[in-house]
Structure 1
Amino acid sequence: MGRMEIMTGRERRRRWSVEAKLSILEEAARPGISAAAVARRHDILPQQLYAWRRRYRRGGSDAEGAISFLPVELVHADGAGPETTAQPVRTPDARVEIVCRNGRAVRIDATMDVERLGALIRAVEAA
């Protein structure tokens, strides 16, 4: 049987810290875990979880200053594994491919400015 809360008096409104929201969103983003199960575990509605996710993807006010880390896999253009003796070389024609959360890929020059890259990725993920 599920947990039931009976509240009397004024409706309560919980306040979630940015760290708590990010922790819950990170938990919901793990492979094989449903957002509904995470929402139940934290006693929130799945709609609230989706709203937080949308807000952070759009760079909402709660997301300011928030840092997100995503897994990165280095792959050679020919599909071979990484060479342990090779040193990174930055040449003007070096290209980087970034696969966003929504599955879209962005191919850029390796020398692209970080601020412009961030704006580009945000635009691609919002599209």
Structure 2
Amino acid sequence: MSWDVLLLHLPNDVTSVQQISDDYAPAPLGSQHDVLAAITQAIPDTDLSDPTWGELLGPTWSMELNIGTEDPVDSIMLHIRGGGDDVLTPVFRLAGALRCKVLDCAEGDLITPLETSGWHRFQQYRDRMLHSHR
């Protein structure tokens, strides 16, 4: 089970998916070459041996970066497993490097360094589900 967040360009005034019009087409994050370079510069430890599917390992978490094969890259889906708030640092570092926003796919809201409650709710939900199946 992973917490999925999407890195993409959105208008500055958008704070949730409900505010995005059906016909909105976000600008790409950049060429695949430029996106990979930005990821490598922001987080040098990222394993990009497969440039379409990166991986980053932390002390208590792992993150897969679903970059895809399209060029230019429209968005990146992050699949985060594990726990600990230190995983949020690379999430926001990537968003900063790509000049984009972070959309919590479970909550449907944008997360910011000041609003990360979706990550905490995901961990609580995951833990409840794991304990109920034992």
Do both share a fold (TM > 0.5)?
no
Larger relative contact order (CA 8 Å, sep ≥ 6): 2
TM superposition score category, shorter chain reference: under 0.3
Structure number, greater radius of gyration: 1
Structure 2 length-normalised TM = 0.24
In proportion to residue count, which structure has more strand? 2
